[in-house]
Structure 1
Amino acid sequence: MLFAMRGLALAAGYGGGWWLLWRMSELYWFLPAGLRFGVLLLAPYRYWPFVFAGEWATFALMNAGIPWLGPLGFVLDTFPHVLVCAVVVRALRGAWPRTRLDDPEDVVHLLVGALLAAVAVTAANAVVLQVVGIKDDTPLTYTLLTFSLGDYLGIMLLVPLMILLLRARPTRSQLRSLLRHALLLLLPSIALLFALADTEPSLAQYARTLMLVPVVYFAFRHGVRGAALAMLAASIAVTAGAGMAQRADAPVEAQMFLAVAGAASLLLGAAIEALRASGERLALQNARLEGTNVRLDQLAQSLREVARRNLRLEEEERRSLAAELHDELGQNLTAIQTRVKLAHERLHAAGLSDVATSINDILATMRRTVRSLLNTLRPSVLDEFGLYRALAEGPVRDMLATAGIAYTAQLRGDPTPIDDDTRTAIYRIVQEAATNTVRHARARSFVLRMRVGPHGGRTVVLLDLSDDGIGLPDAPPGAGRYGLQGMRDRVLALDGAIRIRTGPAGTRLRVLLRLPAREAEASGAPAEAETEAA
């Protein structure tokens, strides 16, 4: 019951609209063709019989006063048009299920469907005229072209607005913007067209061409919605201007102008909307990527904090183990050495002085081993001498000198703002690099350059370690590779960067470490250090 009531309401509304638009139509454009095409395009298939009935009933009422048409002429003049248009629309809906105007491809579907429907309905009408026997002095080709363009213009002027009103209604801000630009640009252009309509044909043609300016502007500024509205207003103005001048001698020319201008403006408007939508999607994607990058940065920062905490725990464990070795094993070795000294005379008297000497040698070797182990576990020289002196005069220099490698240390900048974790990491990196040089490089010299200074609101530490050896060979696992990985881990944990270049001319290792901004602000490093660190 509800379906029937809706169908009857649709038939009545469609029939009334069809009759009203028929009264408003001119030779340039046939608006009922647009209403027929739009309703068939947007209405569900189950309501199509009501559309057919509404048009046929309207035709019956309109042709009731034409007795010479005859029953056959009445049937042929009433029934074919909507059926032919329905066939074309059915094929169009199969190829264009979206029925929207979001991009130029949608507009192309609409324009092609409109052209096919206009040509098909005009051809059917021509057949009807031949069957009924209505003769006209106008050439058939001219009649077909005029009526086809009229139907095409009617579809192009009404259907885009129907689609936009049902599928993409404008907001209040969009309506206000359309009204403002219509008052500023469209109305003055229409007024100029009316003013020049009754003048020379060349000026009238110039004014008609000038109507393209607001149409193109509306398409560029408001997309396909603005193009549809501006084209409808421009078409009405052109038609009204021709009527004022009583110049209907070249309707095909005006129709072609309106058809080309309308198709171009709709395509331009759709392209502009598609471009804007693409820009919005790109901006949204960029915002999502920025959010993802922020989360990744937060995760990386968390991982660096965890790695730094692990390094700190490792150093604390090393310090604790070193203290245990120093307190327990060191004291026991001292006690053993003291007892051997006390027993030395008795061993000598018993002829066992060589045993005492051997024991002392063993104890000395053990003390050196323990001392080396303690220095590896926790470089006490850092606590005793500070970073710069430890690097310039500490165990690193001794190790290189023992291996016969010349050592040069160039240290600049104020190391005061460097925290304990970074200081330990710097020393470990230099220590590991020197160890690799001694073990693998066969070098004659080792150079350490270190710069400390503020840069970009943060304290920057730049390490440059190089030797003149044979480079890093393709060594088996464990031959220096673990040390390099350890250096990388320390640098990454401190939010730094490391780069290693190796070759026949030697190995060069560069490390950049950045301290937090609050530590950089406390730094009093001179401008020279800042320049060299950068």
Structure 2
Amino acid sequence: MRETIRQRNWLRHLAVALTYFALYSALRYVSFSYWFLPASLRLLCLLLLPYRYWPALALGEMLGLGRFSLQCYEEFGLTGALLNLVPRIALVMPIVRWCRERLSLLGPRRQVRMNALLLCAMLLALVTATYDWCFLRIMPVQPGQSPTSFVWAPRYFIGNYLGILTMVPLVLMLWQIAGETPTWRAARTRLGGSRLALEGLALLVPSLLLLAWIAVSFKDLGQVARMAMFLPVAVLAMRHGWRGAALGGFVASSALVVVVPAPYDPVTLQAEVFMAFTLSVLLMLGARIATLHAREEMERMNSRLALQSAQHGLYLGELRMQQAADTLQDVGTAIHHAHERLLDRMRLFLPEGEERRYSRQAIATRQEVFNRVNSLAPRAWQTNGLAHLLQEGSLAHALQNLGITYVCDIRGTGLAGFSPGFQLALYRLACEAAVYVHEQISLSSLRLRVRAGRVRGTHWAVLQMTGTPLRSDDTFLPSRRECDQFRERLGATADGVGGIRHNARIYRGTVHARATEHATRLSLVIYDGDSLSGRSH
């Protein structure tokens, strides 16, 4: 059993070494000293693979350096071949381990600390560039060749650093997206349908193609076009954070290498330095923007959860009021039956007029209990729906008792599809609006308009309450007692338009009130669902 496990472990290490060798050879084939992509492979493997596979990575790089060591043997001898065979990945392993453990370069939930990543990239580029330059410096000079200049050190540094910036952020972005989705197919679907991919195809690629064409076709504008290749990357970074900078940096860096005039031209080195600097700045700026976006999204989520909790609490309050109304209904029924039995027993001892008076009082008491029950929890909503409740429920009866003409106009996709809590909230807001308008002027008529619909999975409702005074120049206000009775009849609790606005905000709604000589109007809109965010007024 142990021998089998050991064999499997050796096979895994061998597979890692051979895979790294194949990738290293392929990337080195398309790389240059001023754009060295194997440096990105080193850092990615050291970041994403466990420590136990690091020796296999060093072995794989030694296999990749074997062919070049043979060339060094022919030119520099055995010492040069052995020095070239030293895997650069082994030199940078302590740096990457320190960044992983001390700087937490890769945090929980696959978070990437961009400042730590850039620092690690600079240190890796510095170490490998220093070793390569020292290797060339100590090698004997062949006849007819000049000694190795110090100019090669910054070339090696820029080549390794820009190679890391070209691929590492992009691969880490894909690795992060893969961790956020359950399957690779879901990750591919999410990435293909994301706005970043669409804007990359629609904005980044055409812009860089245009700039590359200008750099190749117009020699005078070539350097300006190469320097301007960072502009589309900056746009993506501002919109999508460091992920936009990662995608844009990969495409822009690749395009820059294609249009450089010559491999070791000073203009090429200037363009490479400028691109490396701008990508570093944009990655840091993009990381900050991504942090702000995440914080904003968290605040939006917390606000949404708070609204959902408030809506749920409001609905639970309605259910408790319904329970209280049921209890009150039972108590009222029991009192009415007890009153009837008492009248039956006392009928022989009461005068005929007195008996009728007591009967009317019993009926009035029962009706008052029914009105109180209706103000706590309207019964018509459960049996006939919200539309019938608004048209012929407690609001219509209360206005009819006051001699006020009431008109209710409901249009839209229907209120039946709304959640129960939303329907009750809409009814309560209609009652609050009616109480507010009634307290402002002496009414001759009251008109309620309700419009309902659905947009992107979210239900919305618009409510408009318009009150018409008895006369246009009438300044008479209803009495305080009449207002209190009307408020109690409808079960309204809000204090003015401010209270209505506060209740509407629970459903992300807005409220507007307006008074003219001819009418007093209160309008509001509320949303049922999480797809749209209402505005606070």
TM-score (norm 1): 0.59
Aligned to 1:190: 209
**1:120 corresponds to 2:127:** yes
Q: Could you tell me how far apart the structure 1 residues matched to 2:41 and 2:243 are? A: 18
CA change 1:495–1:17 in 2 (3 A) is same
CA change 1:464–1:125 in 2 (3 A) is farther
CA change 1:319–1:453 in 2 (3 A) is farther
CA change 1:144–1:381 in 2 (3 A) is closer
CA change 1:311–1:499 in 2 (3 A) is farther
**1:69 corresponds to 2:88:** no
Q: Could you tell me how far apart the structure 2 residues matched to 1:532 and 1:198 are? A: 67
Which of 3, 9, 25 pairs up with 1:3?
9
Amino acid at match of 1:304: M
CA change 1:247–1:136 in 2 (3 A) is closer
Among the aligned pairs, what percent are the same residue? Answer: 25
CA change 1:71–1:235 in 2 (3 A) is same
Aligned to 1:98: 106
Deviation of the 1:249 alpha carbon: 1.7
CA change 1:173–1:322 in 2 (3 A) is closer
Q: Could you tell me how far apart the structure 2 residues matched to 1:72 and 1:533 are? A: 90
Check the 8 A contact 2:333/2:366 in 1, yes or no.
no
Aligned to 2:228: 210
Deviation of the 1:153 alpha carbon: 0.9
Amino acid at match of 1:413: G
Larger of the two Rg values belongs to structure = 1
Which of 104, 115, 124 pairs up with 1:108?
115
CA change 1:217–1:310 in 2 (3 A) is same
Amino acid at match of 1:154: G
Q: Could you tell me how far apart the structure 2 residues matched to 1:246 and 1:51 are? A: 30
Which of 168, 178, 182 pairs up with 2:177?
168
Write out per-residue CA displacement over residues 173-229 of structure 1, whole angstroms, 9 at most, x where no aligned residue: 64477378436652453343344347455x222111221233234445665444333
Aligned to 2:58: 52
Deviation of the 1:93 alpha carbon: 1.7
Q: Give structure 2 stretches of 5+ with no counterpart.
A: 1-6, 179-186, 372-400, 408-440, 451-464, 468-476, 497-516, 524-537
Write out per-residue CA displacement over residues 90-114 of structure 1, whole angstroms, 9 at most, x where no aligned residue: 11221336369977x6222221211
Write out per-residue CA displacement over residues 358-389 of structure 1, whole angstroms, 9 at most, x where no aligned residue: xxxxxxxxxx9x999x79985859989xx9xx
Q: Could you tell me how far apart the structure 2 residues matched to 1:47 and 1:247 are? A: 36
**1:86 corresponds to 2:93:** yes
CA change 1:17–1:383 in 2 (3 A) is closer
CA change 1:144–1:380 in 2 (3 A) is same
Aligned to 2:403: 413
Deviation of the 1:49 alpha carbon: 0.6
Aligned to 1:514: none
Number of residue equivalences: 394
Check the 8 A contact 1:451/1:532 in 2, yes or no.
no
Which of 301, 310, 324 pairs up with 2:318?
301
Q: Could you tell me how far apart the structure 1 residues matched to 2:140 and 2:31 are? A: 25
Aligned to 1:37: 43
Check the 8 A contact 1:450/1:463 in 2, yes or no.
yes
CA change 1:88–1:109 in 2 (3 A) is same
Q: Could you tell me how far apart the structure 1 residues matched to 2:347 and 2:203 are? A: 96
CA change 1:290–1:171 in 2 (3 A) is farther
Q: Could you tell me how far apart the structure 1 residues matched to 2:520 and 2:324 are? A: 30
Which of 21, 35, 55 pairs up with 2:27?
21
Deviation of the 1:259 alpha carbon: 1.0
Q: Give structure 1 stretches of 5+ with no counterpart.
A: 335-367, 388-410, 418-448, 468-483, 501-527
SS in 2 for 1:64: helix
Aligned to 2:184: none
SS in 2 for 1:84: helix
CA change 1:208–1:302 in 2 (3 A) is same
CA change 1:495–1:116 in 2 (3 A) is farther
Check the 8 A contact 1:452/1:533 in 2, yes or no.
no
The structure showing larger relative contact order (alpha-carbon pairs under 8 Å, at least 6 residues apart) is: 1
Alignment RMSD (CA, Å): 5.0
Aligned to 1:310: 327
Deviation of the 1:164 alpha carbon: 3.3
